Amino acid sequence: MDGVPQEFVVHEQPVWGTRASFLIHAELPLQDQPKRLEQLWARQLEDGTFEVCCIPFFVYDLALGDVVATSAKSGQKYVVDKVITPSGRYVFRAWFGQSFQPRDEIAGELKALGSLVEWSSRNLLAVDAADEEHGRLVAGFLMEREKAGHLIYETGRS
Domain boundaries, the chain: 6-85, 90-155
**Average pLDDT of span 108-119:** 98
Phi, psi of 142 (to 5 degrees): -65, -35
pLDDT, position 1: 43
The confidence score (pLDDT) of residue 91 equals: 98
pTM (2 d.p.): 0.91
Report helix angle 132-147 to 103-112, nearest 10: 150
Phi, psi of 14 (to 5 degrees): -65, 140
Q: What average pLDDT score do residues 17-30 get?
A: 91
Mean pLDDT across 65-79: 93
25-38 confidence digits (pLDDT tens): 999 876 655 678 99
Mean pLDDT, range 40-61, rounded to an integer: 97
User: Which residue in 101, 97, 131, 104 sits closest to 115, CA to CA?
Assistant: 131
**Homologous superfamily of 90-155:** Ribosomal protein S10 (3.30.70.600)
| Of 46, 42, 70, the residue nearest 56 (C-alpha) | 42
In this predicted structure, the answer to whether residue 12 has a pLDDT above a threshold of 50 is yes
Q: Please, which residues bridge with residue 23 across strands?
A: 41
> Is residue 79 scored above 80 in pLDDT?
yes
Residue 2 has pLDDT above 70, yes or no: no
User: Is residue 96 a contact partner of residue 121, using CB atoms and an 8 Å limit?
Assistant: no
The predicted-structure confidence for 115-141, as pLDDT tens digits, reads as follows 999 999 999 999 999 999 999 999 999
Q: Phi and psi at residue 39, in whole multiples of 5°?
A: -85, 120
Selection from 31-45, 90-104, 140-154 with the highest mean pLDDT: 140-154
Query: Residue 62 pLDDT more than 80?
Result: yes
4 pLDDT band, cuts 50/70/90, is: low
